[in-house]
Amino acid sequence: MRSDKITKGLERVPARALLYATGLSREDLGKPFIGIASSFTDLIPGHVHMRPLERAIEKGIHAGGGVSFIFGVPGICDGIAMGHAGMRYSLASRDLIADIIECVVSAHCLDGLVMLTNCDKITPGMLMGAARLDIPGIVVTAGPMISGRYGKQKLSLVKDTFEAVGRRRKGEISDEELSCLEMDACPGPGSCQGLYTANTMACVSEALGMSLPRCAASLAVSSEKERIAYKSGQQVVELVRKGITARKVMTREAFENAIMVDMALGGSTNSCLHIPAIAKEAGVEVDLKLCDSISARTPHITSLQPGGEYLLEDLYYAGGIPAVMKRLCDGLNDCATVSGLSVKEIAEAAEVYDEDVIRTKEDAYHKEGGIAVLYGSLSPDGAVVKQTAVSEKMMKFKGVAKVFDSEETAMAAIMGSQINSGMVVVIRYEGPRGGPGMREMLSPTAALVGMGLGESVALITDGRFSGGTQGPCIGHVSPEAMVGGPLALVEDGDEIIIDIPGRRMDLNVPEKVLVKRKAKWVPPRPKVMQGLLARYAKCVTSADKGAVLTVE
């Protein structure tokens, strides 16, 4: 075992003495050492309930014959960080989490790892760390929040808080109603209720084979979540004994499965950053073209918020990810999973309990999957849009540019009623380097929807969107403006042509005009000059490469 390096041999007397000081016995030193990477924090509703799950995992590890060691990783709540400079740290924290896992697991020679996670960048960060180290590991996502209630109306975070800001600005709701929504939209612990990034990545983790069946959708408040946590602790010890490491599960075929399930669900565009980044750490090449090609042949079989009707609790009661896999079974690769069951075995044993929540491929909500990748003169290296959250009316759109060099100036213009029908709001210098950190733009996109402009105004950015974004909102525009991409050359009044079915996005400006603009363009002064974000900006790659860090 890896832990033999610190538990065996004459020269390890000091290490053993320190381990005994933690309360271990001599017998314990012969058992597998299992780390529990926990992102518990009082700051995030998706994580406040993790203490009992930590205990359940510990019990499972000990029942399986291992020894458990809890260590912490940081967590950022994107909803709280949204709309201000704090959001710059969210994506950067993904790679920091992978680094922390590498540091702790490598320094202490742990044999296996259970990753207790839930929210947006934390789950992919943990998977990146496990893939990099290639040790046995299991992901336990802590579960989605139940819906809120306002009278008989079901509430969710994005629809009933972020979009409510725009509705209040438009005068559709009163201060009293807004106050009730604010208080009741999030009734307790768990990741936000729709298919936003946190729940998207939970579903991806399960479809990838790195979580036990039903883990992704089982509710934060359910006893089933604790049973899954316990079983995960037991199972990781078995993986250690059998030598089943992360890369034996996270194969090319497994990533194809994860992308297919993601596209069938209509998940967050952020998966197009995170799946390639995880795959890179696993030594597998996954790019935007693969995501787009799988989406083009995968029907969208659920209708989950933000673009649809249902919430994760509805997906859970309909059968969860195993039921989705059952619908897709003939197109999935039969890969190994951490459960010991193959993908086909899980799918065949599943039941679909609600035919509308999880439809058949023949009765799909859309013929294609959730995400489309657009190329063209404005996005030579690609841009992404959640096409299943775009109305048919806006799938093709031609508008005039209204350009902003930051999210804050764009938001001020939106709230100041300066955005009109027929405009394409351009928010630039918010990419991985320009942001730095590639902030999410949920506040402006939700405000546009709330103000009734979701079917007459488009928004494009080199930044990102929350999984809660809906409408013709196109992100990850690559190359980004900070490195001189075409987005840097757009001016107010330019015509922009968006063709989602044709996978195109073009700037309708003569080439000779763009050449003159390019000659005059000077990159702006970096927004952050010191600390983590300054280092991040120097090392991060383009969004189309997963915004991963490089030492080149």
Residues labelled as active-site residues: 466
What are the E-state strand segments in 264-370? none
Residue list for the binding site:
78, 120-121, 440
Q: Token pair 């989406």 is at which residue?
A: 295
* DSSP one-letter string for 471-518: SSEEEEEES-GGGT-GGGG--TT-EEEEETTTTEEEE-S-HHHHHHHH
Q: Does residue 436 have a cis bond before it (omega within 30 degrees)?
A: yes
How far is 145 from 133, CA to CA, in rounded Å?
A: 31
Q: How far apart are CA 513 and CA 237, in angstroms?
A: 63
Backbone Cα Rg of the chain:
23
Q: Which of 313, 352, 342, 347 is nearest to 330 (CA)?
A: 347
Instruction: Pull the structure tokens for residue 43.
Output: 């700051």
Say if residue 144 is preceded by a cis peptide, omega within 30 of 0: no
User: Rounded distance, CA 438 to CA 88, Å?
Assistant: 6
Q: Which residues are part of a known binding site for Mg(2+)?
A: 78, 120-121, 440
- Structure token digits, residue 222: 């359910």
The string over 141-166, giving b where at least 16 C-beta atoms fall within 10 Å of a residue's C-beta and e elsewhere, is bbbbbbbbeeeeebbbbbbbbbbbbb
Q: For residues 320 and 402, is the Cβ–Cβ distance under 8 A?
A: no
Longest dimension (CA), the chain: 76
Angle at 307 between CA 228 and CA 213, to 5 degrees: 15
CA–CA distance, 452 with 163 (Å, rounded to integer):
10
Cα atoms in the Cβ-side hemisphere of radius 13 Å centred on 436: 24
316 and 219 Cβ atoms separated by less than 8 Å: yes
Strand 396-404 relative to strand 495-499, pairing: antiparallel
Q: What is the DSSP letter of 540?
A: B
Q: Which two tokens mark 70?
A: 């809890």
H-assigned helices in 36-152: 50-63, 78-81, 88-107, 122-133
What backbone torsions phi and psi does residue 131 show, to the nearest 5 degrees? -65, -40
